[in-house]
Chains A and B, each alone.
Chain A
Amino acid sequence: MVYDVAIIGAGIIGAMTARELSRYRLKVCLLERTNDVAAGASRANSGIVHGGYDPEPGTLKAEMNILGVEKLFRAAEELHVPCIRNGSMICAFGAAEEPAVHALYERGLVNGVKDLRILTGDEARELEPELSGEVSLVLHVPTAGIVCPYKLTIAAAGNAIDNGIDFYRNFAVCGAEKTDEAFCLRAESGETVEARYVVNCAGAYSDRVAALFGDGDFSIIPRAGEYLLLDKAEGGRVAHTIFQVPSAAGKGILVSPTVDGNLLTGPTAAAVESPENTEITPEGVETVKALSARSVPGVQFARVITSFSGVRASEKGGDFIIRTSERVPGLVHAAAIDSPGLTSCVAIAERVTELLSGAGLVLEPKAHWDGTRPDTEAFRHMNDEEKDAFIRENPDYGRIVCRCEGISEGEIRDAVRRAPGARDVDSVKRRTRAGMGRCQGGFCMPHVMRIIAEELGIPEEQVTKKGPGSHILTGRL
């Protein structure tokens, strides 16, 4: 079979593009090198729906960001992914930094951001009492929000699969050949697929993927960002996402609530050798602590529950690369999508679809396309009476497996069954939060492994943490 379109990379851009293309009568496949969607930047980022005051006017980033915000809120609602409009504050500390607030305000106006306001430090502290007393001027962006990036990616891919696209995991594209009518894409495993059009959504690897097609005119400079995630006991420390104006002291370190009620601090920005480099460094941890304490001095870092790092796919030119390849007809790039890529994802997916259409792909809407996805967290949000009734019908939901987050066996089974199904412990964690709480899986991991093994019909020794090579057990006694 020859696919109409193959999408390389199941990050938020690939997943949203798949969902967008699933509206049409096309044969589409989504190819991902790892064991799950959201393996790259879409797993580990700030999760901020940026207002659009930051990108330079006239760039693709500015255009996609402004178009993207409302589209993202709508898609999140359809997919039942929590997305909260909590607003951002960008803070200046003293007179020297205040011009930067005014400059961002002006830029925001040019880009078309609505409802921007400049607040004095005291006015900001009225809204956000834990803000540092050193904060003297603030840009308030009420239209900005927060979303969980990997949940959005999972939901978008799941919705695309429900609407008929094929998902290939552990399919790392390492070769591309042009035959008469199509591209033949070869995976490291030897498996191949053929497709008439290809979309390159390979994130930090997008330059390498372009090169496989003989299209090597851009290159990605990976930059890592480290974060500390704090316990829910810290989640109420701030309501807005608190940024600092770019300065010598720090660039972009934020303090923000997450949609799940935790507190997120970070990221750092350090050039790294490879996109694989998601290591946590003592220096990074210290930087995050020091700079976030500058904005919100009361943060209790004794309550850190985990640290993680994500790699930005930045390009020299500084802008997104969303275009049809000049050299290779049929290849479309959605590459170098660093921040605000998450915010822009729906706008980018629509732009990619237009580019494909411009390149000759015929878009014929399906008669029955359903852009909604059932709420995977419905059970969690029920009250006691509703839960009681639900458990009586579905007893697996009454067996709590993850103590810290209160996740039941039923929800874990759902995570394995519902597209794109979880195949390893980390994938279950991203879908259900089992193992993401205070004990970080100490108690529930053995249970989760057992349930995965049962669902997949494999021995428990074969259950991995995050795909091939990451086995957890080394054998039976």
Chain B
Amino acid sequence: MTEKHDIVIVGGGPAGLAAAVAAYDAGVTDVVIIDREEAPGGVLRQCIHNGFGLHKLGRELTGPEYAAVYAAEAVKRGIRILRETMVTAVSPDREVTACSREGILKIEAGAVILAMGCRERSRGALNIGGTRPAGIFSAGTAQRLINCEGYMVGKKAVILGSGDIGLIMARRLTLEGAKVEAVCELMSYSGGLTRNIVQCLEDFDIPLYLSTTVKEIHGRDRLTGVTVVAVDESRRPVPGTERYIECDTLLLSCGLIPENELSLAAGIPLDTITGGALVDERRETEIPGIFACGNVLQVHDLVDYVSDEAELAGRSAAAFVRGEISQEKTVTVSAEKGIRYCLPQRVHTDAGKTELYMRVAAPAERVKIVARDGERVLLEANRRRVAPGEMEKITLTPEMISGAEEIRVSLEAWK
């Protein structure tokens, strides 16, 4: 079966929903969202803690509540949401193939917005030594089992990784009666938001061991314990610091990776650092008419920023469908000294006010973010402290961009 639609959105999480609403409000009403789960909302459906929406909606909601706000907006506009439908391919000329209990569906799309979100790094990829018993979960899987399915995953847990999901799961397990023996973090700082360290660990007396990793897994059928070890500056285990912790559960929260299998298969070039597509200021990938937003593009700290980015992509896709395409050249935006990545990776010289999002490479204090065109300084922004766990943003004006040849962003000492 083949259909035709103006905009097809792959993924009905917060990014897909916000993009759909924004595209609709920009005047393109033939919008279809496709999601593989039984209901829209994406990963928010399992995030039953609060802390969502403060920036965007001015109130603090739980994940499902935040998703419901956007889903209701989509429904109000009559936007079609295909559920339990998995997109299996997107072609460079924007043919979308999807699979559901009804069969295989093909859609010729005027524009495509990729909003597939991200997944957690798996244990195999981490190469921890030892056995392979039951009781090892990625933090997100455990979250889903507990919050959506109503099952408990263990009694005594160790968590590897202090990203936000790991921190939130430490609290969640504790509230459900499990004992969290330790949260271990390979780096010398936590990758999570400060507020989560306070509210999820400190308030519950859960120890956080920095520069520490899990070296070995023990137990044949079900996990019986883990050996943790301190690591030096180059993240090598320090001999003699091994310590055995008895536990039946190990949660891994070792980072998120944008889920870009579809993008790769479509031939969309990715940024090796973000793991997401290379995009311009409108969130268009290097393949015309295919846009990307949300965690499939870059892993965000807060869903509020996902919604912002998705609205931008939604408006841009609508403009593309209407044939409003910039004819100007683009200049590259590159991350230099002290900055891990910067997004978008290119801007059109006729771009309006443009926000550059970035993550620093390491925690630092009293620094400034400097944007240059060649050697010429465009903008300097002072920061009292920065950390890789908190995304930074600077805003370029049209005047700064219009004459630029190449934009370079770096982190420098604050004098």
Contacts and interface: CB of A to CB of B under 8 A. Distances in A.
B375 interface: no
A398 B124 contact: no
Contacts of A281: 129
Q: How large is the interface on B (under 10, 10 to 19, 20 to 34, 35 or more residues)?
A: 35 or more
Given A280-B129, A443-B119, A470-B222, A307 B101 contact: no
Given A304-B127, A442-B122, A473 B138 contact: no
Given A403-B36, A404-B261, A468-B221, A391 B150 contact: no
Contact of A395 (B101, B145, B153, B261): B101
B134 A400 contact: no
B88 interface: yes
Contacts of A384: 97, 104, 106
B326 interface: no
A445 B140 CA distance: 12
Describe B's contact surface by its main secondary structure: mixed
> Which are the 6 A-B pairs with shortest beta-carbon distances?
A306-B124, A469-B221, A440-B122, A465-B134, A395-B101, A388-B104
A188 interface: no
Interface of B: 1, 36, 84, 86, 88, 97, 99-104, 106, 119-120, 122-125, 127-135, 138, 140-141, 144-146, 148-155, 176, 215-216, 220-222, 237, 248, 259, 261, 264
Q: How large is the interface on A (under 10, 10 to 19, 20 to 34, 35 or more residues)?
A: 35 or more
A127 interface: no
B100 A476 contact: no
A154 B144 CA distance: 32
B124 A304 contact: yes
A442 B103 contact: no
A238 to B, nearest CB: 21
Contacts of A57: none
B189 to A, nearest CB: 23
B103 A388 contact: yes
Residue among A304, A396, A399, A408 with max Cβ neighbours from chain B (10 Å): A399
B163 to A, nearest CB: 14
Nearest to B140: A442
Given A279-B129, A443-B119, A469 B222 contact: yes
Contact of B138 (A304, A391, A442, A464): A442
A403 B259 CA distance: 10
30 contacts: A278-B131, A279-B131, A280-B129, A282-B129, A304-B125, A304-B127, A307-B127, A308-B132, A384-B104, A384-B106, A385-B104, A388-B103, A391-B101, A391-B102, A392-B102, A398-B99, A399-B101, A403-B259, A404-B261, A438-B261, A442-B119, A446-B145, A446-B149, A460-B149, A465-B133, A468-B221, A470-B222, A472-B135, A473-B151, A474-B248
B68 to A, nearest CB: 22
B141 A446 contact: yes
